[in-house]
Amino acid sequence: MNFFNLHTHKYTGSPSITELVNQYPWEFDGAIPYYSIGIHPWYINEERLETDLKTIEEKLQLKECLALGECGLDKRIEIPMELQTAVFEKQIALAEKHEKPLVLHLVAAFDELIEIKKRLKISVPIIIHGFSKNEQVAKQLLANGFYLSFGKYLLRNPELKEVFQAVPNDRFFLETDTIEETLEEVYDLAANYKGMTLVEMQKQIAANWKTVFSF
Low-confidence ranges of the chain (pLDDT < 70): none
pLDDT at 141: 97
pLDDT at 81: 97
pLDDT at 1: 77
Dist CA 65 CA 35 (whole Å): 5
Backbone angles phi, psi at 127, to 5 degrees: -115, 125
Domain range annotation of the chain? 3-213
Fold topology of 3-213: TIM Barrel (3.20.20)
Nearest to 7 by CA among 207, 181, 175, 204: 175
Backbone angles phi, psi at 175, to 5 degrees: -155, 170
